[in-house]
């Protein structure tokens, strides 16, 4: 059986560290940092859509109020 030299031991150690970092980044089937970022982006997009809907409804309300005020001033 052949003994591994210092270089090979360092390479294997570095590969082990890389493997653990990749598992932390991508997850081990239960999600990882990338999955967390995707989830946060989906929540952000939902909040943005809600805000746009609220602003659209608010602008319609303001338009209706403006039309009512103009109609009241005409009579």
pLDDT in tens, 32-72: 777 888 899 999 999 999 999 999 999 999 999 999 999 99
Task: Delimit the domains of the chain by residue range.
Answer: 1-31, 40-75
pTM: 0.54
Say which residue, 29 or 74, is predicted with more confidence.
74
Instruction: Give the contacts of 23 (CB within 8 A, at least 6 positions apart).
Output: 32
pLDDT at position 37 is 87
Query: From CA 3, how far away is CA 49, in angstroms rounded?
Result: 61
């Amino acid at each position: 059986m052949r003994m591994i030299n210092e270089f090979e031991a360092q390479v294997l150690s570095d590969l082990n560290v890389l493997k653990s970092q990749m598992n932390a980044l991508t997850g081990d089937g239960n999600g990882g940092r990338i999955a967390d970022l995707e989830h946060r982006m989906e929540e952000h997009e939902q909040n943005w859509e809600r805000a746009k809907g609220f602003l659209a409804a608010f602008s319609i309300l303001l338009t209706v109020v403006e039309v009512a005020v103009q109609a009241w001033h005409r009579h």
